[in-house]
């Protein structure tokens, strides 16, 4: 976890641990975000799936 004296205030989803993180964060390679709040960060995988679906649909057009 980072001990940054000026931490990012966003919320992140850790794809390695499946946990939401705020203020102290793990390696960025393991994180999705930032998200504006904890509830949104908990939905990170669903959000990523939907964005991928939309991008794939746009590519098909």
Residue ranges covered by each domain of the chain? 11-60
pTM for the full predicted model: 0.80
Instruction: Return phi, psi of residue 17, to 5°.
Output: -100, -10
Kind plus residue range of the DSSP H or E element containing 21: strand 19-22
pLDDT tens, position by position, 28-48: 999 999 999 999 999 999 999
DSSP conformation class of 28:
G
- pLDDT bracket for residue 6 (50, 70, 90): confident
């Amino acid at each position: 976890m980072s001990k940054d004296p000026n931490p990012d205030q966003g919320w992140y989803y850790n794809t390695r641990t499946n946990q939401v993180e705020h203020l102290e964060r793990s390696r960025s390679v393991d994180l999705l975000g930032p998200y504006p709040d904890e509830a949104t960060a908990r939905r990170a995988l669903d959000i990523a799936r939907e964005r991928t679906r939309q991008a794939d649909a746009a590519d098909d057009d």
